[in-house]
Amino acid sequence: MTGVFPKLLKLLPLPSRSFGRAQERSSDVDWREPWIPKGGTCWTIYHPLPIVIDRGQGAKVWDVEGKEYIDMLSAYSAVNQGHCHPAIVQTMVEQSSRLTLSSRAFFNSVFGRFAKVMHEVFGYDMVLPMNTGAEAVETALKLARKWGYMKKGIPEGRARIFSAEGNFHGRTLGVISMSTDPDSRTGFGPYLEGVGPTFEVADVDGDEESEVKTIRYGVIEDLEQALELYGEETAAILLEPIQGEAGIVVPPHGYLAKVQALCKKHNVLLICDEIQTGLCRTGKLLACNWEGIRPDIVLLGKALSGGVYPVSAVLADKSVMLCIQPNEHGSTYGGNPLGCAVAITALRVLIDENLADRAERLGKVFREGVADLKKRGKKGALIREVRGKGLLNAVVFEESASERGRTAWEFCLLLKSKGVLAKPTHRNIIRFAPPLVIEEEDLKRVVRTIGQCLEEIDTLDVIPDDTEAEKTHVDEYAN
């Protein structure tokens, strides 16, 4: 077999010098086209910061040159337990040497334990395991529609699922059909019908065209109007307890409870997408726990595996989950023994290390620290707002206060040069969401570094690693 692989390589349309070769230096990446490794054919789709990460431990990562950074993104909340948590890694190694995949054609010895743990921790009758967050969302859409037809009696083909403006639930076709983000949506139509944040309001007098209204996040009156008009054919409302990609938008307190009351009034399922907000990130096991509500369906992912393996889950009671029967939905890898074993340990780490309370406490430290920076006269005026819950936070920058019109992207480059990694969401917002195991002193160091960057951002003629290609995507590949 040793001679087969080199022969196969000759058949592949890849430069052999780059196939399987690790990035040895940050300079191995062409920053003019930062998603293209030199000599490679990789297309990462995203627009990453100019850094090549080589290893991680806890709340810190190291690049290929060995420079240390504090990770303030935690892979979009996928490594709440910290990078390479030893207990999770040990479980993965042990299970991978025993059994990794059985498929849904057979039972495996780990799935039952996983289901029991999920029931004990979250209190729902049943769990349907998938792999990615987007798969969990797509599964919930199917489940809600099926429930609408079987239990609520919505006429076939008429079921609606409402979301809210600014939502982010993934990038699959069904999911982007709900999106209001042009970058996610434009150029991928036609879209899935009956899902999203918009609805039509007919002209009362009938002499004008109907008006299309958008359900604004956090505005209960919009949802009330939508359900008054279309409640009979609405199967579900899908919401994030806190909108992540929109810029860590926290709704007014009581909003989710009012949404749940509306859902009960109109016999509509409430689906909470906790893929980014759940698993202790906001200071509670689930973000919806802050308002004491129990959604009909809960979606989990990301940190469900501690960042070492793709695992997602759909939680619901039997009255909802059993609307989907065998052979109507599935996944080859969903519920595999490796993912289940890893998820069990990842949940145990969250609970045993009391990471929810830790996130709540340290989140206050971060927000109070940044709020103090905001009071620093002219430089503090660059901060419009700091907001969030637990260790899911955002700093909103006042671009008009920058003498050079600096952006959140440039601020992140300056942070990177000082050993802090964060990523913009939209032009003037930076998300700060470190692993929940971050040390308090490291978090305070991040606050001090933000303060240093506020002092320097308008004094520098050149921001480290800044190029025009990193500010905007290169269009030639789209033509």
**Ranges of residues in the chain whose predicted pLDDT is under 50:** 1-21, 32, 34-35, 468-479
Q: Does the annotation mark 168 as catalytic? A: yes
Ranges of CATH 3.90.1150.10 domains, the chain: 28-81+355-468
Please state, in angstroms and rounded to a whole number, the distance separating the CA atoms of residues 369 and 118: 36
Nearest to 296 by CA among 273, 277, 330, 324: 273
Q: What pLDDT shows up at residue 467?
A: 64
Q: Does the annotation mark 378 as catalytic? A: no
Q: What pLDDT shows up at residue 7?
A: 47
The percentage of residues in the chain with a pLDDT greater than 70, rounded to a whole number, is 87
- Catalytic hit among 122, 168, 366, 397: 168
Tokens 């299309």 belong to residue: 212
Q: What pLDDT shows up at residue 30?
A: 57
| CATH code matching the domain that covers 86-352, chosen among 3.40.640.10, 3.30.70.890, 3.30.70.260, 3.40.50.2300 | 3.40.640.10
Q: What pLDDT shows up at residue 41?
A: 56
- Catalytic hit among 63, 71, 273, 296: 273
In the chain, the N- to C-terminal Cα span, in Å, equals 42
- Catalytic hit among 60, 302, 389, 416: 302
Ranges of CATH 3.40.640.10 domains, the chain: 86-352
Q: Give me the CATH code for the 28-81+355-468 domain, please.
A: 3.90.1150.10
Q: Does the annotation mark 162 as catalytic? A: no
